[in-house]
């Protein structure tokens, strides 16, 4: 039987770090003198740190020197890492281990496909690192989602054809990336926001063994 490659995004899929990214950007916006809303934060999901800062400064109508830009990038990340430091297994999103266990038990290869440069330490903190055969993250790509690069590298490293991979994503940019890689895209979160996904689930509690079995049996 052909293998199905399972590729998981990290932030907002495996752990709810999207809220910490939001808080850190919100803190920076506040310091720069403007508000950053939840709705605006939707645009930041799946998007690289650098691109997020560009969008944030656009929202605030701020023009930065290169020096300011670089120092705000560092400041945001340091603030974000303060939230991350305290993370443990309790912050794994509901039923994620159940799905990882099922996939592992059926001997299907698992990859991480994330835009984050902090992916590995986060997986270590929540003790899920051992499930992943390969980690492809913000340190390994040159083109950010919605470019499919991150998922194509993951498929290659798993030794599975792109059209035999499934991707779990909470970001519009991530669903677009999976679709353009010709992979099955599974939206985790708000189905209206992720309307381009092949399948939608509010969270992993809605995913049962029957669905996973179907993914493994795909042609």
- Cite the active site residues: 9, 11
Minimum CB–partner distance for residue 215 and Mg ion (Å) = 20
Minimum CB distance to Mg ion smaller for 168 or for 216? 168
On the 0-12 / 13-18 / 19+ scale of CB atoms within 10 A, 128 is buried
Tokens matching residue 43: 């645009």
29 in Cβ contact with 35 (< 8 Å): yes
- Asked if residue 136 binds ligand BG6 (CB under 6 A), the reply is no
Per-residue tokens: 190: 């708000």
Find the binder of ligand BG6 among 11, 103, 185, 204 (CB under 6 A): 11
Identify what 118 binds: ligand BG6, Mg ion, none; CB under 5 to 8 Å per kind: ligand BG6
Interacting span for ligand BG6 (CB under 6 A) from 101-109, 110-118, 128-136, 187-195: 110-118
Contact 144, 48 (CB under 8 A): yes
- 19 scored as a contact of ligand BG6 (CB under 6 A): no
Among 4, 7, 12, 179, binds Mg ion (CB under 5 A): 12
Q: DSSP states of 30-65 as a string?
A: HHHT----HHHHGGGTT--HHHHHHHHHHHHT----
Residue whose token pair is 């669905």: 211
C-alpha to C-alpha distance for 62 and 60, rounded to whole angstroms = 5
**Member of 138, 140, 153, 156 binding ligand BG6 (CB under 6 A):** 138
Residue 121 in contact with ligand BG6, rule: CB under 6 A: no
| 52 touching ligand BG6, by CB under 6 A | yes
List of residues contacting ligand BG6 (CB under 6 A): 10-11, 21, 44-49, 52, 77, 114-118, 138, 171
């Amino acid at each position: 039987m052909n293998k199905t490659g399972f590729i998981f995004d990290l932030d907002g899929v495996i752990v709810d770090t999207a809220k910490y990214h939001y808080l850190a950007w919100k803190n920076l916006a506040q310091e720069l003198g403007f508000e950053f809303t939840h709705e605006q934060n939707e645009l930041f999901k799946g998007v690289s740190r650098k691109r997020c800062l560009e969008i944030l400064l656009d929202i605030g109508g701020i023009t930065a020197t290169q020096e300011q830009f670089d120092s705000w990038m560092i400041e945001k990340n340091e603030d974000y890492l303060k939230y991350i430091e305290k993370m443990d297994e309790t912050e794994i999103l509901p039923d994620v281990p159940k799905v990882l266990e099922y996939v592992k038990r059926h001997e299907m290869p698992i990859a991480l496909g994330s835009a984050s440069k902090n992916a590995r330490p986060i997986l270590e903190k929540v003790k899920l690192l051992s499930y992943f055969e390969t980690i492809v993250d913000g340190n390994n790509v040159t083109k950010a989602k919605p470019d499919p690069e991150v998922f194509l590298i993951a498929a290659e490293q798993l030794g599975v054809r792109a059209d035999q991979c499934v991707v779990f994503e909470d970001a519009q940019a991530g669903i677009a990336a999976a679709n353009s890689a010709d992979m099955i895209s599974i939206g985790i979160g708000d189905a209206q926001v992720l309307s381009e996904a092949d399948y939608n689930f509010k969270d992993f509690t809605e995913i049962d063994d029957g669905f996973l079995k179907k993914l493994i049996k795909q042609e």
